[in-house]
Amino acid sequence: MHDAVTVHMSASPDQVWALVSDVTRIGSYSPETFEAQWIEGATGPAVGAKFRGHVKRNGIGPIYWTTCVVSTCVPGSAFGFDVLTGGKALNTWAYRIEPSGDGADVTESFRLADTVLLKTYWALLGWARGKTNRKGMQATLEAIKAEVEQAAA
């Protein structure tokens, strides 16, 4: 009930982190989440900061808002958030940024909560959703790479 994709980017970890931790930019990268905004007084990345994302599931719908809370915030190194349902984490998305060669290896990952309902869902439909998530993570990282490498050039 988890997966990850890694892409090398020819940019500093700080440059990459600045993009992945600015949730208001996610619409420029993600094939599913087309906008996000900080909420409840949050103005930027910090553990406990909340934001909401506007999602177009599978790129076709349904369209809905989801509330998220930042769970990991280490400048230049890691950024993660929990997608909340009823105040509980349903899914955790994370970015890990590690210096490598001329830049950074950037890993995007997701991990579903360990619940009976999600285990059943994953057993029945996980192959399809997992494939969609993997393609989405690859597309997101490639879009971030294009932007950060152009800015670093």
- pLDDT by residue (tens digit) across 122-147? 888 887 888 899 999 999 999 999 99
| Topology given in CATH for the domain delimited by 2-152 | Alpha-D-Glucose-1,6-Bisphosphate; Chain A, domain 4 (3.30.530)
Burial of 40 (0-12, 13-18, 19+ CB in 10 A): exposed
What confidence score (pLDDT) does residue 117 get?
85
Q: Tokens at residue 123, please? A: 């057993």
Domain ranges of the chain: 2-152
- In this prediction, residue 129 carries a pLDDT of 82
Looking at residue 80, its pLDDT comes to 98
| Ranges of the chain whose pLDDT falls below 70 | none
For 13-23, write each residue's pLDDT tens digit: 999 999 999 99
Q: CB neighbours of 6 closer than 8 A, spacing ≥ 6?
A: 105, 106, 107, 141
Amino acid at 92: T
Q: What is the pLDDT of residue 92?
A: 97
Q: Hey, what amino acid is at 82?
A: D
Residue with tokens 């690859």, as numbered in its chain: 138
Helix (H, G, I), strand (E, B), or coil: what is residue 73? strand
How many angstroms separate the first and last alpha carbons of the chain?
A: 38
